[in-house]
Structures are given as structure tokens and as C-alpha cells.
Amino acid sequence: MKFSRILDWIIITLGLLSTVLVTVFVFNKNKMEDTLRFQYETEEVLARIQARMQSYEGTLVQLRAFLKNSGDLNRDKIQKYIRDTEIFERFPGLQGIGYTMMLHQHELESHTRLMQKELPDYHVFPKGTRDIYSSIIVLEPEDRRNKKAIGFDMFSEKFRKKAMEEARDQDKAIMTGMVVLVQEDEAENLPGFNLYLPHYKKDHLLNSIENRRKALLGFVYSPFRAHDLFKAILRDEKILDVEIYADNMNPKNLYYDHYKSDEQLSPTATNELLINGRKLIVKTSALPEFPRASSLINNLLVFVSGTFITLLIYSIYLFTRKQMHIARVVAEEKEKLLEKEKEHVASRDDFLSIASHELKTPLTSLKLQAQVMMRSISRNDPAALSKEKVSHLVKQIDNQTTRLTRLVDDMLDISRIRTGRLKIVRDTVNLNEVILDVIDRLKPQFIKTIGETPDHDLFPDIVGSWDRFRLEQVLTNLFTNAIRYGNGNPIKIRTELEGRCVRIYVTDEGIGIAKENIVKIFERFERAGMSASEVSGLGLGLFITAQIVKAHGGEIRVESELGKGSTFIVELPLDA
Ligand code: ADP
């Protein structure tokens, strides 16, 4: 695999892996935060319950202190005092505050009579003969319900009695277990409890259970309807469900359920509260409204952001990589161009020196011949001015000018090609005629170098739509090259027709062309690895040839082996 591919995978894998790790980390952290928050909210609920119960106990303690110092037990005074505490307005949920008086059996009658002066219907109930009674003589506020409780002997009921005895013996505020208050209508039967604080005779020693029992006068007490009480305490609770049980979580012991729901809530916690000698079990559960940091949407957000950042980093990386690649390619292109430019300059310099050399050779020889003639004329030497001598000189002059003309024509063609002015003027041309014409024109050179005209095998009657002059130029170039680079060995010319396309083969058995030069020779100013002195020529011929063939919609290529010879193949479509 390519290094960049591996890097791609590393970046994506690392990005996604760290996204998953961060998501898991954030999820766990949020979960912990949720747990802590839940614990905090639960503690808050417990503290609220405890604080409220302490307030109620405090009120009872104050009432007892008031009674201790007021001398006698006067109903009016007690009622007035209770009303003045404003406890019902300040801490709603309390059913009442009252006083229950301890009576021995022998005191019952006189007590009842005394009470009936104020409350004609007063009697201690339930009826029956018992050693000790405890009768509620005051219960504020004096509403319909509480009035029902006046005269009730709480000592006659075992739960209340147990709590009262504990309170009496320990000199403490003690709560009953779950009871149904006497003031409840029977149909409702709602659970509640009472809170008792013992009231002893003034100035009695209270240092032992015995002494406390002896000194007991009665109890200041508060009845509570559990539902009203806890509802008032938890009025503002919106995110937790709270269930409160007496003693244990038996459904029978349920005092209060803040948010009755069948839903499976989570998380939950169960705590015990010890309040005034009794255990309350408080179960808290997070409601759906509980704000959760570990919510799905939060975690999804972390994951999506992580993935997005990974993709962003990856795109930046890709972009940078691409930019770097482009910069590299541009630099390489520049380098190549520069190299090419250098080569061009070098071959142009080469060309200029070859061109001047090529131009100078015929010019020098022309000048020499002119000087020879001038000398002969001035010497008035009839032998030197004989018809043969003069015609030989003129022939030489003609050859040199032809050579010069060809050189200049080549250079003009190059300039035409460069400026796109090389025009093809098509005509109906018989290929065999042109080939034979060119061979005929070059006959002296063929004879001079290889001793014969080239062997030719021509497909009969090939007629195409070509520029005759340019076609001659192509053939002249190829034949001249075969002569020049053919080492004096025989030359073969062959044509073949395939469909509407003719192929011309020019084969020599000369020096051949090295593989690395095969493409180059069709370029401008290229002379396959030869210096100017080796063989004369400007290195323009094949370039011009190839351009002419191309302008005819054809192709030129060469098959060659160094030292063995070359075959140039020109492919021309018959039609334009
Ligand atoms: P010139 O012959 O004037 O140098 P050309 O463009 O005609 O220019 O040829 C380019 C180069 O191709 C020549 O310099 C020569 O090296 C090589 N070449 C052309 N024809 C042949 C051939 N028949 N055999 C070997 N080399 C050839």
C-alpha cells in the first residue's frame, strides 16, 4: 500500500478512536455528574424533612416551656399561645398542636366535671375502666376534625401508648408508628402519626425513669396526617419522586408517594431517617424531568462533533497533501521546461553554427570559382576560358546555388511551420510518377554514392489528393538521407496500398539510428548525436518532412537498428 494511503487510514482511525474514547469518557463523566446530582437532590429532600420535623419539635418544646412557667393548665392560655406561634401558617402540613393530660382513675370524674363546665359534651373516651387515662384537653386549631379528638384517651391505644411511654421515660420528643388519627373520618382512614413531648411537674427531679414517671403531668403533642405533611414539605419537588414509609418498605407502611407513577425510574436511592425515635424510609427516584448530563443527545453531540473534527482534520490534511502535490508537479514541470529550454538553446546554437557552416561552404566555393574566372579573364588565357572549362565552372556554380536555395527553403519552411503558415495545396497526384521523378532528379547522387538508382517495387496506379510539391520534398528528404547515411549500400523503395491509405517504405543498409534517438530525429534541429563536421545537414529535413506528412493527415515513423540500416515508413491517406 502507498505511504499516503497508510497515513489516510492512520488519521481516520486515530480520529475515530479518539472520538469514541472521548465519547466514552464524557459519557462516564456525565453519568458520574448525574449520580452526584441525584445524591445531592436526595440529601436535600432528606434535609428538608428533617428540618421541618425539627421545627415542629421546637414548637412543642416552646409550648412545654410556656406551660412549665405559667403555673396552671388553662385551656384558654394554651390555645392563645399556640395561635400566637403562627405555626400553622409558617409550616403548613401540621394537623394540630394540643395537650393531653394524664389522669388516674380516681381523678376521672372530677376532671370530667371540671371540663364539662367549659365543654358540656366533654367526656373521656373510649369508655371503660382503666388505671390511667390520658385525655386530650386542647387541640388547636379547633376545627371540626380536631374537635372530634377532644377527650380521646391516647393511652388506650397501644401504638400511641408505646410512644408516650418512651417519651415519658426518656424525656424526649417521640413519634408514634403509623396510626390513623382519631379525627379522621372513618371512610378516609388516612395514615398519620403523633409526636409527643412529655410535660413534667415543675421543680421535680427528672434524673431517672422512676422520677420522670412520677413527675409526669401530660404531653404536648402534634398529630400529623402523613399525606398533608409530606406534600407540604415536598411542595416544590419537581425532579424527584419521593416515597416515604414508616419503619420498612412494606406497601402497608407507605405514608406518602409524591408522584404516583408506574414507570421504571432510574436512578433510585433508599435512605433511612431517624426522626424522634422512629425510622422513616425515604425512597427517591429521578423523574424523567431530572436534568441528565448523560442524555443520549449530549453523548451523540460529542460523538458527532468528534467525527466532524476528524473529517475536518482529514480534509485539511487532504487539501494540504493535494497542494503539496500540485506544488511538486508544478516544480517538476518547471524543471522540465527549463531543461527543454536549455536543450533548445543548445540545439539552436548548434543549428546556427551548422547553418553558418552550411551556408559558408557553397559561398566560399562560389567565391573561389568567381576568383578563378576573374583571374582567367584578366590573364586573357583562352585555354582557361574554353567552352568545357566555363561550362564546368557554371555547372559547379549552379550546384552550389541549388544547395544554397535548398538551405534557405528549409529555413523558410521552418519559419512557416512555426507561424502555422505551412499550407498544403491539394491536387490529384499520381504517387508513382512523383517517386520516379524524384529518383530521376537525384540520379547523379544515387549513381555517385551507390553506383545505381534505388531498387523500387511500386504498387501500380496510386492516385491521391496531395500537395505535389510538398510530397516531392518529403521523398527528396528521405532519399537524400538514405544516400547520406546509407554507407553506399543499396537503397530500396516500396509502396503498398491498404484500403484508402498508402504506405511508402524507404530502406537503406546504412549507419542506422540508436533507439534513444528515434523519437528525437523528427524534432527541430535534431541531428542524431552527430557533430556538424561528420555529415553535412541542418537537422531540419525530418522535422519538415514529419510536419508535411502530418498536414496531409498521415504519419511517419522509422524502424532502425544501429549499424544495420533504417526503414522510414510514410503513411498517407489517399483522400483529404
Ligand atoms: P540532416 O540530415 O540535415 O541532419 P534530418 O532532419 O534529415 O537532418 O535528419 C536528422 C537526423 O536523423 C540526421 O542528422 C541523422 O542523424 C538521422 N537520420 C536521418 N535519416 C537517417 C538514415 N536514413 N539513417 C540513419 N540516420 C538518419
At 539, is the pLDDT very low, low, confident or very high (cuts 50, 70, 90)?
confident
- What spacing in Å lies between the alpha carbon of 501 and ligand 1's midpoint? 26
Arithmetic mean of pLDDT, 505-509: 97
- What spacing in Å lies between the alpha carbon of 527 and ligand 1's midpoint? 6
Predicted confidence at residue 7, as pLDDT, reads: 84
**58-72, 78-92, 275-289, 300-314, range with greatest mean pLDDT:** 275-289
pTM of the model: 0.56
Which grid cell is 54?
425539627
- pLDDT by residue (tens digit) across 371-394? 888 888 888 877 777 888 888 888
Please measure the distance between the N-terminal and C-terminal CA atoms of the chain and give it in whole angstroms. 51
Half-sphere exposure of 511 (CA within 13 A, CB side): 13
Is the pLDDT confidence value at 532 over 60? no
Q: Measured between alpha carbons, how far is 305 from 418 in angstroms, rounded to an integer?
A: 60
- Closest residue to atom 12 of ligand 1, CA basis: 521
Contact call for residues 88 and 141 (beta carbons, < 8 A):
yes
Residue 497's closest CA among 432, 427, 567? 432
At 3, is the pLDDT very low, low, confident or very high (cuts 50, 70, 90)?
confident
Contact call for residues 101 and 135 (beta carbons, < 8 A):
yes
For residue 494, list its beta bridge partners: 457, 505
- What spacing in Å lies between the alpha carbon of 418 and ligand 1's midpoint? 21
Residue 523's closest CA among 348, 360, 379, 276? 348
Mutate to test the pocket of ligand 1, among 521, 524, 525, 548 (most ligand atoms within 8 A of CB): 521
Residue 304's closest CA among 6, 26, 7, 8? 26
Arithmetic mean of pLDDT, 250-278: 91
- What spacing in Å lies between the alpha carbon of 356 and ligand 1's midpoint? 19
Q: Measured between alpha carbons, how far is 441 from 39 in angstroms, rounded to an integer?
A: 114
The ligand 1 site (C-beta within 6 Å) comprises: 477, 481-482, 485, 508, 510-513, 521, 526-528, 530, 537-543, 566
Predicted confidence at residue 240, as pLDDT, reads: 94
Q: Where are the beta strands (DSSP E) in 348-500?
A: 427-430, 455-457, 463-466, 492-498
182-196, 471-485, 495-509 — which is least confidently predicted?
182-196
In this structure, the strands spanning 463-466 and 278-286 are: unpaired
Predicted confidence at residue 73, as pLDDT, reads: 80
- Closest residue to atom 19 of ligand 1, CA basis: 481
Predicted confidence at residue 132, as pLDDT, reads: 95
- pLDDT by residue (tens digit) across 94-146? 899 999 999 999 999 999 999 999 999 999 999 999 999 999 999 999 998 89
Distances (CA, A) of 554 to 368, 504, 551: 44, 11, 7
Mean pLDDT of all residues belonging to the chain: 90
The proportion of the chain whose per-residue pLDDT surpasses 70, expressed as a percent, equals 97
Residue 492's closest CA among 450, 547, 535? 450
Mutate to test the pocket of ligand 1, among 523, 542, 569 (most ligand atoms within 8 A of CB): 542
Is the pLDDT confidence value at 460 over 90? yes
Arithmetic mean of pLDDT, 546-566: 95
- Closest residue to atom 13 of ligand 1, CA basis: 527
Nearest-atom index, ligand 1, CA of 526: 10
More confident residue, 397 or 474: 474
How many CB atoms neighbour CB 86 within 10 A? 9
